[in-house]
Structures are given as structure tokens and as C-alpha cells.
Amino acid sequence: MPDGPPRMKGASFDAVRELYSAEKFSLLKVGYKLNAKAVNPTSMERQNVKLALDVINPFVSNALETRGAALKLVQAQSTADFINIIVTWWKVVNVKSPFKGHRLKDAMQEPVQSIDGHQLTFLNGIVEWLNTWKSIDLSSGTMTRETHTALRLTCYSLVELSRYCLEELKFKCVLLGKFQTYALEDRFGRYRQLAGAQYHVPWKSSVDSDPEESPQQYERSVVITEEDVTGCKSDIDAIAYVAGYCAHAAMKKLACALCCSTLVFEDRDIEVEDLKTISNLTRGGLKFPRPCTVHMVLITKLVVEKLSAGENAKEFLPCSNQRLIVSSTAVSLLKEDIDIETCQNGHKPETVVKLVVNAATNTLLKNYCKLKNDAIQGEAQKKDAARKAKTFKKK
């Protein structure tokens, strides 16, 4: 960014194209990330972040600075300056680890620790630069109004968010890379594909084709009867073994001795009929789950079986949030069954149940996928064997 009074400088994409043309047949390139797609993108490819980063990177700016004069590239230095501004901005706003700057030996990739830090000073400079750019009122050679507004608002918001976190919330540092909209962009991308890859998606179309199913609609369709519970008696040993693992996973996150005693038996030398598998396999480390923990896993197992069978399967299997649907349905069914009180450390029963159910859901859905994959492979092998047998008969 220029200091002092505003000076008009231009950045030319033609300089980048000419640099690529000059080096494209060389085995060793200074601007080695440049490629044909990056310098000649289609309208859709211009939205591709990977291709944009092939152009907006330090190697290209360095190549323009060092070889621009030799190759007689127009506006090579000012183009390199523009790329360096965007590269620095990208570094500042994509810090997600407190140790990134130390590891990469880059001060601009360190977390924000002070209002007067160089990262926020840079972002404030970007805001002033954009304000100056807007005041010139150019008709061409500038960002679109939407892009200009979005970039300015992003920089200003990050500065104010950092100020609030450091001064009001008393954070030691702020990782600007944690403020992101990837989930929103992912969902918008799916709406576009469902609407026939249109860029401007009608509101009604997005509502009608929303792939995110509400978990509540499945809670009404899953009914667990006494017969369902009784029918799992033959599998109770395996269910108890998995319940021990689920209790272990929940205890790791809770780190609470009181909740631990609620989920598992403290005495590992006890003889319990449903825990034979654990008794046979343990060498002192396996958890012996209490009946309430076993019941949580049992209900979760029944929920997965109900949702993946019959009419429910047609709606459940195509969903992208199957884990959320299973866990929320199981937790809803367990609300009245589990008699757990809030512990002295403040852990509510809903929190404990949800952690156990989440671990059980992961295990059950993983096993369900394995069963389906094995079935598909088995059918493919049968068809392959039949085809080979038919070929041999012809011979």
C-alpha cells in the first residue's frame, strides 16, 4: 500500500500472462505456480480459489519484480505490489494456529495479540486504501462495487472483532482464521447445484430442494417398543462392550470423576452377566458400563436400525447429516428413560447422554457402511464369477 498522498498505480493481468508465456517452456521457472488455466480462466474458473492462489502468490510477485524489466513487462512492479498486498492480507486473515507465524518465521502470520499490532495496522491500512480507491471514482480498472464493499467490510469487521475480543473479553490472542464462512459457502454451493448450477438461486428453489433434513421429523417416525428392546437380548454382550468404549469417549471429554461413576462401575472385579466379553478381554483397562450406559447404546442401535430400514431408509440414507439425525433422535427418546442428575461440577444429564450417544452413533454408522460395502462387493463378486463361468462354458 502506498504511504503519504495517494498515487495512481496500475496492476495488469497481461503482465502475468506475458510472464507465463515467457517461462512456459522452461524446465525451471521463477513464477513456477503459473499455469494455462490460471492465466486464462473461464467465467466459472474465476471463482476457483486454488486457481486464484496460483496467480496471487509470492513466487509470481517475485518473478515480476526480478524479471519484469528483462522481459519488458508493462506495469510489472506495480502488479507485483498489488499481488503482495493481497498475499499479505491472505496471510493475516488465515491464521488458525497460535504457532503458525513462529513455525513459518513470518510475523504477519502470528496471532493478533495487541490492538496496535502490525496485523491490525495492516488491515486498517487496507480499509484506508479502499476508501481512497473508492473516492477516485474510476469507471474501469477497479473492483466491482460488491467486491469492494465486501473486502472493506471484512477488514473493518476483523479489526473491530479483534478489538472486542482483546479489550472486552480479555483474550490473550485472536486467530482471525477462525472467523470464516466455509459452512455457509458449502451450503450455497449445494443450492446452486440443486438449482441446475445457476449462480442466482431463487429463494423458493432453495427451500424446495433443501438437502438439510430437520432431525425433528425423524423423531416422530421412530418408535421404540418393548418388543424391540427384548429382541436385542442376544446382542446385549456386544452392546455392553461398545457401551464401555462410548463411556470411555464421553469421560475423556467430561474429565469428571462424578460423571465417570455414573457411567461405569468403579470396581472392575465385579461379576455382571451382560459383561462377559469385557471380563474376558480386559487386562485392567476396559470400562464396565452401568445399565444406563448400556441402555443409551441399545436405544441408539435401534434408532439406526429403524431409520435404515423400510420407508425411512428412502429419506434417511440420501441425507448428508445422518449423524445429527441419529443422535438427536436417540437423545430425544432417552429423555424420559435415563435417570441421571446434574453433577456437582455442573454437567447436565443432557450433556452426558449426548456424548455417549454421539460415540455410539459414530460406531454404528461406521459398521452400517461396512455392511453395505461388503454386500455391494459380494454382489459384484457373484456377477463376476457368473460372467467368468458363462465365458468358460462358451469355450
Q: What is the pLDDT of residue 38?
A: 92
Q: Which of 1-15, 27-41, 133-147, 232-246 has the lowest mean pLDDT?
A: 1-15
Q: What SS3 state is found at 286?
A: coil
8 A C-beta contact, residue 50 and residue 73? no
Q: Which of 119-128, 202-211, 332-341 has the lowest mean pLDDT?
A: 202-211
Q: What is the pLDDT of residue 278?
A: 46
Closest by Cα among 126, 142, 18, 143 to 75: 18
CA distances from residue 193 to 181, 199, 200, 207, 364 in whole angstroms, order as listed: 19, 9, 11, 14, 30
Rounded to a whole number, what is the distance in angstroms from the first to the last CA of the chain?
Answer: 78
Residue-wise pLDDT for 67-78, tens only, equals 999 999 999 999
Residue-wise pLDDT for 265-278, tens only, equals 765 544 445 555 44
Joined grid coordinates for residue 104: 513459518
Q: What SS3 state is found at 11?
A: coil
pLDDT greater than 70 at residue 253:
yes
C-alpha span between 134 and 131 (Å, rounded): 5
Q: What is the pLDDT of residue 395?
A: 62
User: Residue 11: CB partners within 8 Å, gap ≥ 6?
Assistant: 75, 78, 79, 81, 82, 83
- Confidence class for position 196, pLDDT limits 50, 70, 90: low
Mean pLDDT of 58-75: 91
Range 357-384 burial, b when 16+ CB lie within 10 A, else e: bbbbbebbbeebeeeeeeeeeeeeeeee
Q: What is the pLDDT of residue 234?
A: 75
Residue-wise pLDDT for 307-357, tens only, equals 888 888 888 888 878 888 888 888 888 887 777 788 888 888 888 889 999
Q: What is the pLDDT of residue 109?
A: 94
Percent above pLDDT 90 for the chain: 34
8 A C-beta contact, residue 294 and residue 357? no
- Confidence class for position 175, pLDDT limits 50, 70, 90: very high
CA distances from residue 261 to 164, 227, 269 in whole angstroms, order as listed: 41, 30, 15
Closest by Cα among 213, 218, 212, 214 to 333: 218
Q: What is the pLDDT of residue 217?
A: 55
Joined grid coordinates for residue 109: 502470520
Joined grid coordinates for residue 363: 460406531
Mean pLDDT of 377-393: 83
- Confidence class for position 195, pLDDT limits 50, 70, 90: low
C-alpha span between 74 and 10 (Å, rounded): 10
8 A C-beta contact, residue 28 and residue 63? no
C-alpha span between 289 and 242 (Å, rounded): 9
Q: What is the pLDDT of residue 174?
A: 95
| β partners of residue 112 | 174
Average pLDDT in the chain: 83
Q: Which of 61-65, 116-120, 197-201, 222-226 has the lowest mean pLDDT?
A: 197-201
Q: What is the pLDDT of residue 283?
A: 44
C-alpha span between 286 and 134 (Å, rounded): 66
Q: What is the pLDDT of residue 386?
A: 84
Per-residue HEC secondary structure of 319-350 comes to: CCCHHHHHHHHHHHHHCCCCCCCCCCCCCCHH
Percent above pLDDT 70 for the chain: 85
| β partners of residue 174 | 112
Q: Averaging pLDDT over each range in 65-69, 192-196, 286-290, which range is the top one?
A: 65-69
- Confidence class for position 205, pLDDT limits 50, 70, 90: low
pLDDT greater than 90 at residue 207:
no
Please indicate whether residue 12 or residue 222 has the higher confidence score (pLDDT).
12
Q: What is the pLDDT of residue 236?
A: 81
Please indicate whether residue 155 or residue 280 has the higher confidence score (pLDDT).
155
pLDDT greater than 90 at residue 83:
yes
Helices of type H across the chain: 13-23, 36-39, 49-55, 58-67, 76-93, 100-104, 118-136, 145-163, 182-194, 203-208, 215-221, 226-231, 236-254, 257-263, 276-281, 291-307, 310-316, 322-334, 349-394
